[in-house]
Amino acid sequence: MTGPLIAAALGCMLAGAVVDLSLGTRSAAVRAVPYLLGAAGSACLLAVGVHATLSSPVAIDITPLFDVGRSALRVDALSGSFLTLLFGISVAVSLCFASWAWSDVGRAHRRAVATGYLSLLASVAVVVCAADAFVFLFAWEALTVSFYLLTSAQRGDAERAGAAWATAGMGKLSGACLLLAFLLLAGRTHSFAIASWSAVGPGALHDAAWVLVVVGFAAKLGVVPFQVWIPVGYPAAPGPARAAMAGVAANVGVYGLWRFLGVLGRPPLWLVIIVLLAGGCTAFLGILFAGVQSRLSRVVAYSSVEHAGIILTAYGVALTGVAAGSRSLEVVGLVAASLQVVAHAVAKSAAFCSLGFVEAGAGTDDLDALRGVGRRLRWSGAAFGAAALALAGLPPTVGFVSEWFVLEALMQQFRLGGLALRLGLAGAGALVALTTGLAALAFIRVLGLTFLGRPAAGGTTAGDRGTTAGDAGPLGRIGLVALVLGCLGLAAASPWEVRFLAQGLRPLVPRRATLHALKSPWVLQPVYHGFSILSPSWLWIALPVACAGVLGMAALASSGGFLRIRRVPAWRSATAGVAGPSSYTAFGFANPLRHVLANVLGAERTRRLRPPVSSDGRAPTVAPSSPGAPSPGVAHVESTTRVVEPVEAYLYQPAWRAVSKLVDAARRLQSGSLNAYVAYMLGALVVALVVVAVLG
């Protein structure tokens, strides 16, 4: 069953790529066909995943395809759980993509977009199922090529072209780290089979392999300092392709971390502390920059950085358990991280799919220009609202359950004896706790002032140019509904989700140990009995009842006045004479954050005088007298705030300048003398021998 279904899935994706490259993109029906084939292939892989999670491992020999040693695919419970998650989401994303491609409104249709998307799905499937180094690296590099195809789809724009190269460059860095790690492990074991590398014992080579593996997978996931490609790479991709990149493909980095925890075993203690602190810093910086962006696509992209940090932090808890010899701590970390992976994958896919329809219908992703778009594009607006609540970690969504579990896992530091690990968990916990508060701020801003906000009085917004009939379309609505059900329904079904994860994590931890996360059939606990409990299923009953009770009591106490509609002037600002449509915008809402955390954001403020013009809501325009429109002929002060990403400003830019100087110096070595070149080669050989001797 497994082999034929995988072959059928890859065949559907190959057929879709052939249709895309041969028949072009002129016909709406033809444009949708590759994505429908992608949905069919994803459904096949979903079936493979469910079967593999609940049954014994299956190996598939594919040596004749490559003829490079022995090549194989192996689908076990861990592979099956990731196939279930990623390709369950891919079915919904493919339906959204088909609907997006069918319409001509605002879409940028180019040849090879569908090919890039289908090759991405195929690469993800092969990476998750790869049993040897060659197949794994082959699929990993194919995934990098797929990312480049998607981010360069609109390469006429210089900014998008730069984003494509940044995405490809980070993908090559990730692949290079994994290649070096695999070579070290294969050289020690004399085998390319990934499972055989568990025989590598402690030592310098083992620690070096651990570092390279973490860096390689963290770069794909978007962990600081490798996150710089995400804020530019995701927005550069067209429509729902962003959902495939963020919600599906990025999670192969998570799969790699999970897989190599079982292969390499105990990590060095200093690496555990680095992982914990890197995860906490990534989460904090990601949501901080998400909260001050003025483009919706960049808000969601930076949110991906935040969730990458939360996932890595929970993974650090699992590493802490392995390093300290605590099975319970390892289990609580893996369960928390896995729940966060599910929440991020579903919610991020819903957010990017709905954003694709909003951006196509409105023609922009500017937050202030999209005011009221949720009132016009109701399907996309509702889907984005559910995704935003989940990404903010608010109840009763799946994001609330996962972030609760992560915070509970980080509170277990008192069970450890070593001070270094306890401080690492405490520091990471403080950063994640701060992140959860900022996440609510960031997404309430988007929902309240953009999707649910009112358009400017007497004006129009970008959202008014869309039509309700063009909102998502039938196939897109099916995909959005499926993703919204994932954001909301998985919270109510969390006990069953934990049971399924217990099956999937069997290659790493015993199933019985994972089921300790269930205090009772409806109640979750962070593995340790008596620490704390949560029932997400009952929360779905208690919250509506509590809301109904509060509303009823308010209506009774007000003698019905609570239900009467009252119309009052909208609050504009604390300063009289501020012009513009309601003046308090999404940009203005984030200004306190820019000022309070200016040092972290690298905020740069500039001011200039300009004549009075109609305000766009971003720059306050002060009038000398009446609270109405400013008087003509009066100069106004315009203040502009720009944030600078510290990793790029203080790491990559100085490094680029240093490399440029090194390259200029190296050019002088090209003397044309054969003797000089032989001397260079001899020196390189001596260095290589020294490195091999140290690692050996």
3-state SS assignment for residue 518: strand
Of 543, 560, 577, which residue is a domain's last? 560
Alpha carbon of residue 592 to chain centroid: 26
Length of the chain in terms of residues written = 696
Residues 482 and 600 in one domain: no
Residues 601 and 505 in one domain: no
- What value does the mean pLDDT take over residues 566-593? 57
Cα–Cα distances in angstroms (integers) from residue 579 to residues 294, 353, 366, 412, 615, in the given order:
20, 35, 20, 52, 6
Would you report the helix, strand and coil content of the chain in percent, each value rounded to 5? Answer: 70, 5, 25
The predicted structure's pLDDT at residue 625: 38
Instruction: Report whether pLDDT(355) > 80.
Output: yes
Cα–Cα distances in angstroms (integers) from residue 394 to residues 80, 374, 378, 560, in the given order:
29, 20, 21, 31
Residues 448 and 465 in one domain: yes
Cβ-based neighbour number of residue 603 at 10 Å: 18
Rounded CA gap, 468 and 449, in Å? 20
> Which amino acid, one-letter code, is at 112?
A
Predicted model pTM: 0.87
Domain-located, residue 44: no
Parent domain of 447:
327-560
Residues 431 and 523 in one domain: yes
Matching residue, tokens 């006429």:
156
- Of 76, 79, 196, 73, which Cα lies nearest the Cα of 134? 73
58-61 vs 604-610, strand pairing mode: unpaired
Domain-located, residue 230: no
Domain-located, residue 380: yes
The predicted structure's pLDDT at residue 62: 82
Residues 639 and 665 in one domain: no
Instruction: Report whether pLDDT(159) > 90.
Output: no
Pairwise pLDDT comparison (695 vs 500), residue with the higher score? 500
Instruction: Report whether pLDDT(571) > 60.
Output: no
Confidence class of residue 156 from pLDDT cuts 50, 70 and 90? low
Give the 3-state DSSP-derived string for 655-687, with helices as H, strands as E and coil as C: HHHHHHHHHHHHHCCCCCCHHHHHHHHHHHHHH
The predicted structure's pLDDT at residue 458: 46
Residues 658 and 607 in one domain: no
The predicted structure's pLDDT at residue 205: 93
The predicted structure's pLDDT at residue 676: 81
Confidence class of residue 353 from pLDDT cuts 50, 70 and 90? very high
34-82 pLDDT per residue, tens: 999 999 999 999 999 999 999 988 988 887 776 666 778 899 999 999 9
Question: Alpha-carbon torsion 119, 121, 125, 130, what sign?
Answer: positive
Domain-located, residue 685: yes
Rounded CA gap, 421 and 103, in Å? 54
> Which amino acid, one-letter code, is at 88?
G
- Of 91, 102, 46, which Cα lies nearest the Cα of 481? 91
**CA angle at residue 479 from 473 to 483, to 5 degrees?**
135
The predicted structure's pLDDT at residue 399: 92
Residues 534 and 599 in one domain: no
314-328 pLDDT per residue, tens: 999 999 999 999 999
State how many domains the chain has: 3
Cα–Cα distances in angstroms (integers) from residue 528 to residues 332, 411, 522, 566, in the given order:
8, 11, 16, 52
Share of the chain above pLDDT 90, in %: 50
Pairwise pLDDT comparison (222 vs 676), residue with the higher score? 222
Matching residue, tokens 């579990």:
405
Matching residue, tokens 């001797």:
693
Residues 520 and 602 in one domain: no
611-667 pLDDT per residue, tens: 655 544 444 444 443 334 444 444 555 556 667 777 777 788 888 888 888 888 877
Q: Lowest-pLDDT range, 123-127, 159-163, 683-687?
A: 159-163
Cα–Cα distances in angstroms (integers) from residue 225 to residues 517, 596, 647, in the given order:
33, 23, 6
Domain-located, residue 405: yes
- Of 347, 318, 320, 322, which Cα lies nearest the Cα of 332? 318
Alpha carbon of residue 696 to chain centroid: 38
Rounded CA gap, 650 and 680, in Å? 33
Pairwise pLDDT comparison (101 vs 248), residue with the higher score? 248
Residues 522 and 663 in one domain: no
The predicted structure's pLDDT at residue 304: 94
Instruction: Report whether pLDDT(577) > 50.
Output: no
Residues 320 and 272: beta-carbon distance below 8 Å: yes
- What value does the mean pLDDT take over residues 388-396? 91
Residues 481 and 443 in one domain: yes
- What value does the mean pLDDT take over residues 183-201? 92
Token reading at 316: 């650090």
User: Cα torsion for 326, 328, 332, 337, to the nearest 10°?
Assistant: 50
The predicted structure's pLDDT at residue 628: 40
Residues 549 and 666 in one domain: no
Report the first-to-last Cα separation within the chain, whole angstroms. 44
> Which amino acid, one-letter code, is at 420?
A
Rounded CA gap, 208 and 444, in Å? 43
Could you say which DSSP state residue 213 is in? H
3-state SS assignment for residue 460: coil
Rounded CA gap, 382 and 386, in Å? 6
374-384 pLDDT per residue, tens: 888 889 999 99
Residues 458 and 511 in one domain: yes
Domain-located, residue 599: yes
164-178 pLDDT per residue, tens: 888 999 999 999 999
82-134 pLDDT per residue, tens: 999 999 999 999 999 999 888 754 455 567 889 999 999 999 999 999 999 99
- Of 16, 76, 72, which Cα lies nearest the Cα of 48? 76
- What value does the mean pLDDT take over residues 202-230? 93
Instruction: Report whether pLDDT(584) > 90.
Output: no
Domain-located, residue 658: yes
Rounded CA gap, 36 and 42, in Å? 10
Residues 249 and 143: beta-carbon distance below 8 Å: yes
Cα–Cα distances in angstroms (integers) from residue 231 to residues 135, 308, 319, 499, in the given order:
30, 13, 28, 35
The predicted structure's pLDDT at residue 294: 85
Average model confidence (pLDDT) for the chain? Answer: 84
Domain-located, residue 506: yes
Residues 102 and 22: beta-carbon distance below 8 Å: no
- Of 503, 508, 79, which Cα lies nearest the Cα of 262? 508
Token reading at 99: 């609907």
